[in-house]
Chain A
Amino acid sequence: MNTTAASYLDNTGKDPTQRAPLVLGANDLHDVTDKVCGIIENPKPSTGWYVGMAVSLLLLAVLGYSVFYLFFVGVGVWGVNNPVGWGFAIVNFVFWVGIGHAGTLISAILYLFRQTWRTGINRSAEAMTIFAVICAGLFPGIHVGRVWVVYWMFPLPNQMEMWPQFRSPLLWDVFAVSTYFTVSLLFWYTGLVPDIASVRDRAKHRIRQIGYGILAIGWRGSNRHWHRYERAYLILAALSTPLVLSVHSVVSFDFAVAQLPGWHTTIFPPYFVAGAIFSGFAMVVTLLVPARKWLGLEELITLRHLENMNKIILVTGSMVGYAYAMEFFIAWYGGVHEETFAFISRATGPFWWAYWIMVSCNVIFPQLFWFKKLRTSLPAMMVVCLLVNVGMWFERFVITVTSLSSDFLPSSWGYYYPTLIDFTTLIGSFGLFFTLFLLFCRFLPIVAMAEVKMTMPQAHPSKH
């Protein structure tokens, strides 16, 4: 960073005698409230918000059209066919569920490890998690062909005595993802209660007073309330921590339990979890770099926060790179002809382009974060994180499509051609995601005020 007028915003220095401040500028406790609540109290959101909302709603409409077209005509509107029976729907599902992992990691695991820098970003990351899981949940719901019996995914007693296959990871997925969504939502809402109460107490308009009043469920900020709040938060953090690891492990079983070469590998669960955290953090950075700028939160979501996330992206990106390499090693070392072929075909076969997009976006570009100059530069991190988002989508595409397109029997090999509706559904799911995120920015405090204040020097008066 240049040592210009904005240098006070750079708290990425490395003086070990001093803890880097997490709130910059001459902000006291009240200023934090003013800044965060100001965003939602502003009678007119910025032009940028309106433009963003218009684009998001347009994409949401595209999604709506694609889904209704799918319902009316059937799954034939997608490019799935023999031999590639799993196409964009599962790719998008895994992509979105993966993104949903950053929120819980930040709010649960970093909380248990007392990483105070999480406070600046945990609220928006959790919100992002919930919206990503909503996007993910969309795809299993619409891909079933007969949407009117979609409830058959759940083990409900019925006169047909018909149950989902309990030995199938696809059913475990239903439980894993719905549990994850429920716990994430509860966690998010629990953290929101004190902040919503602040918004309620500052609200001028009657409707806002009542609306936020109901959401704040009677929070008065008494000692007893805080005591119970902290307890509940700790319990939920402990509950969510194993979920961070379990959900994507179960998702990886969708592939690993099958016998297809390229899927049937024991490295899948840890490799998927690392990839999920990797993509989730990339999405948080992608959202927060513009959001902190447009909403004037640079003093709360500081460069140090972003740098820390970039470090995690570097670590998890390297883990993903290691997994890619290990897959090749095991394919050679295992000596199974089909397995060896599957991986050589991945890198040099008909989908070589997808494979190399994946490798360059996920393994090569994140290595730039070894350089402090680049991992603290907003444009650089934005570009790298966008590339990671692209790369992680392609990772799921590569896993799903290459293995299916050329399995054991050369006579059943075939190429996969996605259709226009495949693409509009994918793009439309971003519309759903951004619509929800923009609504969140407009109506809920996007920084956990109460928690940020606990990390400020003013919260530790003994030091003065």
Chain B
Amino acid sequence: MSHFVFPKWTNTIRLHLTVGVVVTVIYVTLLVAYGASPKTTDVGYAPEQPIPYSHRLHVGELGLDCRYCHTTVDSSPHASVPPTQTCINCHEKIHPESEKLAPLRESYASGMPVKWVRVHDLPDYAYFNHSAHVQRGVGCMSCHGRVDKMEVVYQDQTLSMGWCLDCHRNPEPHLRPPEEVTNMTWNPTGDELKARFPDFVRYLDTLENGSTLDDAAVVKQFQRHLRIKNNINPSTDCSTCHR
């Protein structure tokens, strides 16, 4: 052969190459978008705890308030995990011989805390303050999901930066009166809101179409009213969370 010509089989390469490149691009995009997303890697994380504590039973059926155990959630950046003594308040009398509660009794006797496994873990470079959110009326449920239905607590939301920003840019859908923050079933109708919050009625009266709104629109206006009343203008500066 005097000089190089492309052999016949290279004709098929063109097709393979084109298909290969297209498929690779799609595959890598999907892999990164879905595979590496916190939606895939973090949501649903439900580690096994040393004691099979059921939030469904305690919150959903018995009606314990979140703050009975997580006492510092509305006063400090950190929502504390209850000390063994909090559990013993009841379990000294209730199921005192239970097999499942053996680690609790052991902890009570030795003074060493139960080794609860942390479920919601933000990176150390992201600053988050529970009290700032709870005091201003962001419900526990907005970030933690329906804890009253969780036999085992799992991560309900992505906790990604984009997820934080979604709410910081548009907080209204997640606002409620601060006294309803721990209510897991908060789902008021417009009429209930009007009956309960006279200042909201006054706010509605200032709107041009305040009297003609349908129920969903009234609830929306209520959330806007909360935002204005409580002066909620969350910052989206980098230094808000990355201090």
Residues of A that sit less than 8 Å from B by CB? 157-162, 200-201, 203, 209-210, 212-214, 218
Give B171 Cβ to nearest chain A Cβ, in Å.
Answer: 15
Specify which of A159, A161, A162, A213 is in contact with B6 (CB 8 Å cutoff): A213
* Contact residues in B for A210 (Cβ distance below 8 Å): 4
* Contact residues in B for A158 (Cβ distance below 8 Å): 162
* Contact residues in A for B165 (Cβ distance below 8 Å): 160-161
**Does B117 sit at the interface, judged by CB under 8 A?**
no
Give B73 Cβ to nearest chain A Cβ, in Å.
Answer: 26
In contact, B161 and A203 (Cβ under 8 angstroms): no
For B165, give the chain A residue with the smallest CB separation: A161
- Give the distance in Å from the alpha carbon of A292 to the alpha carbon of B4 in the complex: 30
Residue among A157, A158, A212 with most chain B CB within 10 A: A158
**Does B235 sit at the interface, judged by CB under 8 A?**
no
**Does B86 sit at the interface, judged by CB under 8 A?**
no
Specify which of A159, A200, A201, A209 is in contact with B38 (CB 8 Å cutoff): A159
Given known A-B contacts A157-B33, A159-B37, A159-B38, A200 and B4 have beta carbons under 8 A apart: yes
* Contact residues in A for B93 (Cβ distance below 8 Å): none
For B2, give the chain A residue with the smallest CB separation: A201
**Does B160 sit at the interface, judged by CB under 8 A?**
yes
**Does B5 sit at the interface, judged by CB under 8 A?**
yes
Interface residues of B in 133-189 (CB under 8 A from A): 158, 160-163, 165-166
**Does B3 sit at the interface, judged by CB under 8 A?**
yes
In contact, B4 and A161 (Cβ under 8 angstroms): no
In contact, A218 and B166 (Cβ under 8 angstroms): no
For A162, give the chain B residue with the smallest CB separation: B161
Specify which of A160, A200, A212, A218 is in contact with B160 (CB 8 Å cutoff): A160
Give B135 Cβ to nearest chain A Cβ, in Å.
Answer: 26
Q: What number of B residues sit within 8 Å (CB to CB) of A? A: 14
Interface string of B1-44 (1 = CB under 8 A from A): 00111100000000000000000000000000100011000000
Specify which of B5, B38, B161, B163 is in contact with A213 (CB 8 Å cutoff): B5
In contact, B162 and A161 (Cβ under 8 angstroms): yes
The 4 A-B pairs with the shortest beta carbon distances in the complex, nearest first, are: A213-B4, A161-B162, A160-B161, A209-B4
In contact, A213 and B162 (Cβ under 8 angstroms): no
Residue among B4, B160, B161, B166 with most chain A CB within 10 A: B4
Give A294 Cβ to nearest chain B Cβ, in Å.
Answer: 29
In contact, B161 and A161 (Cβ under 8 angstroms): yes
* Contact residues in B for A200 (Cβ distance below 8 Å): 3-4
* Contact residues in B for A162 (Cβ distance below 8 Å): 161-162
In contact, A159 and B161 (Cβ under 8 angstroms): yes
Give A257 Cβ to nearest chain B Cβ, in Å.
Answer: 21
Interface string of B190-204 (1 = CB under 8 A from A): 000000000000000
For B39, give the chain A residue with the smallest CB separation: A159
* Contact residues in A for B166 (Cβ distance below 8 Å): 161
Interface string of B55-86 (1 = CB under 8 A from A): 00000000000000000000000000000000
* Contact residues in A for B163 (Cβ distance below 8 Å): 159
- Give the distance in Å from the alpha carbon of A210 to the alpha carbon of B4 in the complex: 6
- Give the distance in Å from the alpha carbon of A214 to the alpha carbon of B5 in the complex: 9
- Give the distance in Å from the alpha carbon of A196 to the alpha carbon of B165 in the complex: 54
Q: List 14 A-B contacts (CB under 8 A).
A: A158-B162, A159-B158, A160-B160, A160-B161, A161-B161, A162-B161, A162-B162, A201-B3, A203-B3, A203-B4, A209-B3, A210-B4, A212-B4, A218-B5
* Contact residues in B for A160 (Cβ distance below 8 Å): 160-162, 165
In contact, A159 and B162 (Cβ under 8 angstroms): yes
- Give the distance in Å from the alpha carbon of A218 to the alpha carbon of B3 in the complex: 11
- Give the distance in Å from the alpha carbon of A234 to the alpha carbon of B236 in the complex: 49
Give A217 Cβ to nearest chain B Cβ, in Å.
Answer: 8
- Give the distance in Å from the alpha carbon of A209 to the alpha carbon of B163 in the complex: 57
For B162, give the chain A residue with the smallest CB separation: A161
Additional 4 contacts, C-beta under 8 A, given A160-B162, A209-B3, A213-B3: A159-B37, A159-B163, A160-B165, A162-B161
- Give the distance in Å from the alpha carbon of A159 to the alpha carbon of B164 in the complex: 10
For A211, give the chain B residue with the smallest CB separation: B4
* Contact residues in B for A157 (Cβ distance below 8 Å): 33
* Contact residues in A for B4 (Cβ distance below 8 Å): 200, 203, 209-210, 212-214
Give A411 Cβ to nearest chain B Cβ, in Å.
Answer: 24
For A218, give the chain B residue with the smallest CB separation: B6
Give A5 Cβ to nearest chain B Cβ, in Å.
Answer: 40
- Give the distance in Å from the alpha carbon of A209 to the alpha carbon of B33 in the complex: 43
For A212, give the chain B residue with the smallest CB separation: B4
- Give the distance in Å from the alpha carbon of A193 to the alpha carbon of B139 in the complex: 66
- Give the distance in Å from the alpha carbon of A212 to the alpha carbon of B4 in the complex: 8
Give B237 Cβ to nearest chain A Cβ, in Å.
Answer: 13
* Contact residues in A for B161 (Cβ distance below 8 Å): 159-162
- Give the distance in Å from the alpha carbon of A159 to the alpha carbon of B33 in the complex: 8
Give B151 Cβ to nearest chain A Cβ, in Å.
Answer: 29
- Give the distance in Å from the alpha carbon of A203 to the alpha carbon of B2 in the complex: 9
* Contact residues in B for A203 (Cβ distance below 8 Å): 3-4
* Contact residues in A for B33 (Cβ distance below 8 Å): 157
- Give the distance in Å from the alpha carbon of A161 to the alpha carbon of B169 in the complex: 11
In contact, A159 and B3 (Cβ under 8 angstroms): no
- Give the distance in Å from the alpha carbon of A158 to the alpha carbon of B163 in the complex: 11
* Contact residues in B for A214 (Cβ distance below 8 Å): 4, 6
In contact, B5 and A159 (Cβ under 8 angstroms): no
* Contact residues in A for B158 (Cβ distance below 8 Å): 159
Give B68 Cβ to nearest chain A Cβ, in Å.
Answer: 34
Give A37 Cβ to nearest chain B Cβ, in Å.
Answer: 13
- Give the distance in Å from the alpha carbon of A46 to the alpha carbon of B166 in the complex: 64
For A216, give the chain B residue with the smallest CB separation: B4
* Contact residues in B for A218 (Cβ distance below 8 Å): 5-6
Give B40 Cβ to nearest chain A Cβ, in Å.
Answer: 10
* Contact residues in A for B160 (Cβ distance below 8 Å): 159-160
Give A308 Cβ to nearest chain B Cβ, in Å.
Answer: 37
- Give the distance in Å from the alpha carbon of A203 to the alpha carbon of B165 in the complex: 62
Give A428 Cβ to nearest chain B Cβ, in Å.
Answer: 33
For A161, give the chain B residue with the smallest CB separation: B162
For A159, give the chain B residue with the smallest CB separation: B160
Give B35 Cβ to nearest chain A Cβ, in Å.
Answer: 12
- Give the distance in Å from the alpha carbon of A160 to the alpha carbon of B36 in the complex: 12
- Give the distance in Å from the alpha carbon of A209 to the alpha carbon of B161 in the complex: 54
- Give the distance in Å from the alpha carbon of A337 to the alpha carbon of B126 in the complex: 44
- Give the distance in Å from the alpha carbon of A203 to the alpha carbon of B37 in the complex: 52
For A157, give the chain B residue with the smallest CB separation: B33
